[in-house]
């Protein structure tokens, strides 16, 4: 066997890995170019991908359900949803929160007629893992876990202590951790045979740090870095990311005219918080900031002065943008190797759990590429695939995902 070529390329949105493999001709392998493949092996157990949602009022949701598409007005039965509203009583066992299915009306204000970014966040992610898979079925369930509290600041209420314990932390950060623990336990009980994965966290917050003045605003970036590190330490044992949990935040928007108007007395603090958000996103790996200045991230005023809370369109745009950012941030397939096996050539790679990956082969980098198999990567993340009838003249292989 000779390996003459091995490299990584980016083509469109798919990340590909390539390997050129030749047969020596004396190894008994079948010559010719006919396609042959044995099924790829991957742990196919059910996966629950959990996404955490936290922050203040725009994370909790102040957008009116009036104007939502009909598909969002009803519960989305395929998406588990665990949430807790501040001030609600604890459960009989002392835990906080309720397990239901994703739906509007689970926000602290609005009498059941408001929603946050969770609706389109969950739907977009569930559609990605469910509908983009070129396999007979998907074993993936997307779940949202939400706790947010309007009018709270990172400076105090969400203050981290820098380690994986809640000792001395802000009251809302402690509550969030209690809700998250209860939610993860309830999901594990509801899906006892599933692998529970923590896929990332979204954070919609910053307005109250602006309101608190120059000190809190100027410290926002430093405090956010500490918060992200603390979140990652708190959930370090959670697969698949551990201490590199993807973290997604939305920048304070120019559409929030209560702050962005240069004549407003808080405008200087608005600029400080925005700069702090950008600095935090640049300081740590796997942290992503949404630009919420475009018109689609629109504001309304049901509970406050002009330009503070996302309206019905704005919240839908926010949730969708978070979901697309999560999808774009998914890691590319990772090449593990190729070796000769009794069945031909064995290709091994690591991929995104719950996502469909396409395995292709070609006589040259330029193609043409022939489809060998679609495979849904299971909870272990590892795939082995045997090309049972590789061409003796040599071949390139690549793996991609949507």
**Given this model, what pLDDT does residue 186 score?**
98
Domain count, the chain: 1
- Range scoring the smallest mean pLDDT among 211-220, 272-281, 347-356: 347-356
Average pLDDT, the chain: 88
**Residue 348 maps to a domain:** no
Per-residue pLDDT of 131-167, as tens digits, reads 877 777 778 999 999 999 999 999 999 999 999 899 9
Task: Name the pLDDT band for 42 (thresholds 50, 70, 90).
Answer: low
- Give the list of residues 6+ apart from residue 229 with CB closer than 8 angstroms, or none: 160, 162, 284
Burial class (CB in 10 A: 0-12, 13-18, 19+), 6: middle
Per-residue pLDDT of 166-210, as tens digits, reads 999 999 999 999 999 999 999 999 999 999 999 999 999 999 999
Q: How far apart are CA 395 and CA 364, in angstroms?
A: 7
Per-residue pLDDT of 246-262, as tens digits, reads 999 999 999 999 999 99
Per-residue pLDDT of 312-340, as tens digits, reads 999 999 999 999 999 999 999 998 988 88
**Residue 8 maps to a domain:** no
Q: How large is the average pLDDT for residues 100-105?
A: 98
- Percent above pLDDT 70 for the chain: 88
Per-residue pLDDT of 387-401, as tens digits, reads 988 888 888 999 998
362's enclosing H/E stretch is strand 356-362
Task: Name the pLDDT band for 17 (thresholds 50, 70, 90).
Answer: low
**Given this model, what pLDDT does residue 32 score?**
29
Q: How large is the average pLDDT for residues 278-296?
A: 98
**Residue 389 maps to a domain:** no
Domain span holding position 119: 48-328
**Residue 89 maps to a domain:** yes
Q: How many CB atoms lie within 10 A of CB 239?
A: 15
- Percent above pLDDT 90 for the chain: 75
**Residue 353 maps to a domain:** no
**Residue 264 maps to a domain:** yes
- Give the list of residues 6+ apart from residue 265 with CB closer than 8 angstroms, or none: none
**Given this model, what pLDDT does residue 28 score?**
30
Q: How far apart are CA 195 and CA 394, in angstroms?
A: 39
**Residue 362 maps to a domain:** no
Per-residue pLDDT of 226-251, as tens digits, reads 999 999 999 999 999 999 999 999 99
Listed as own residue / partner, the contacts of 362-370 with beta carbons closer than 8 Å and 24 or more positions apart are: 362/395, 362/396, 362/398, 363/33, 363/391, 363/393, 363/394, 363/395, 363/396, 364/396, 365/9, 365/18, 365/396, 369/398, 370/35
Judged against a pLDDT cut of 60, whether residue 10 lies above it is answered with: no
Higher pLDDT, 374 or 39: 374
CA distances from 333 to 40, 235, 340, 353 (A): 15, 24, 21, 10
Among 246-260, 347-361, 362-376, 381-395, the range with the most confident prediction by mean pLDDT is 246-260
- Give the list of residues 6+ apart from residue 337 with CB closer than 8 angstroms, or none: 348
**Given this model, what pLDDT does residue 392 score?**
80
State both tokens at 176.
């969030």
**Residue 397 maps to a domain:** no
CA nearest neighbour of 354 among 220, 195, 247: 195
CATH number where 306 lies: 3.40.50.1110
**Given this model, what pLDDT does residue 352 score?**
94
């Amino acid at each position: 066997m000779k390996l003459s070529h091995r490299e990584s390329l980016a083509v469109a949105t798919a990340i590909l890995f390539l390997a050129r493999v030749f047969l020596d001709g004396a190894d008994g392998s079948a010559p010719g170019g006919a396609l042959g493949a044995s099924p790829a092996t991957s742990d196919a157990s059910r996966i629950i991908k959990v996404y955490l949602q936290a922050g203040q009022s725009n994370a909790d949701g102040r957008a009116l359900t009036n104007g939502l598409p009909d598909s969002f007005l009803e519960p989305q039965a395929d998406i588990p949803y665990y949430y807790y509203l501040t001030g609600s009583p604890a459960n009989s066992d002392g835990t906080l929160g309720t397990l239901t299915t994703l739906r509007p009306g689970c926000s602290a204000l609005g009498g059941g007629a408001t929603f946050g970014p969770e609706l389109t966040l969950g739907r977009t992610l569930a559609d990605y893992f469910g509908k983009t898979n070129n396999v007979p079925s998907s074993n993936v369930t997307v779940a949202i876990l939400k706790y947010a509290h309007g009018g709270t600041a990172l400076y105090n209420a969400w203050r981290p202590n820098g380690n994986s314990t809640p000792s001395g932390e802000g009251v809302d950060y402690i509550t969030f951790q209690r809700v998250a623990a209860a939610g993860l336990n309830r999901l594990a009980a509801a899906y006892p045979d599933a692998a529970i994965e923590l896929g990332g966290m979204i954070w919609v917050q910053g307005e109250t740090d602006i309101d608190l003045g120059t000190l809190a605003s100027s410290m926002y970036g430093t405090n956010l870095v500490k918060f992200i590190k603390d979140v990652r330490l708190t959930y370090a044992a959670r697969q698949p990311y551990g201490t590199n949990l993807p973290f997604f935040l939305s920048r304070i928007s120019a559409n929030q005219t209560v702050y962005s108007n240069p004549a407003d007395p808080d405008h200087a603090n608005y600029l400080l918080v925005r700069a702090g958000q950008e600095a935090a996103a640049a300081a740590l790996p796997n942290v992503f900031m949404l630009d919420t200045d475009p018109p689609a991230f629109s504001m309304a005023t049901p509970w406050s002065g002009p330009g503070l809370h996302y309206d019905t369109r704005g919240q839908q745009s926010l949730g969708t943008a978070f979901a697309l950012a999560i999808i774009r941030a998914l890691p590319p397939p990772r090449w593990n190797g190729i070796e000769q096996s009794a069945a031909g050539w064995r290709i091994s790679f690591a991929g995104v759990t719950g996502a469909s990956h396409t395995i292709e082969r070609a006589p040259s980098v330029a193609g043409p590429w022939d489809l060998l198999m679609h495979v849904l990567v299971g909870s272990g993340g590892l795939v082995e695939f045997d090309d049972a009838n590789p061409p003796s003249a040599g071949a390139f292989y690549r793996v991609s995902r949507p």
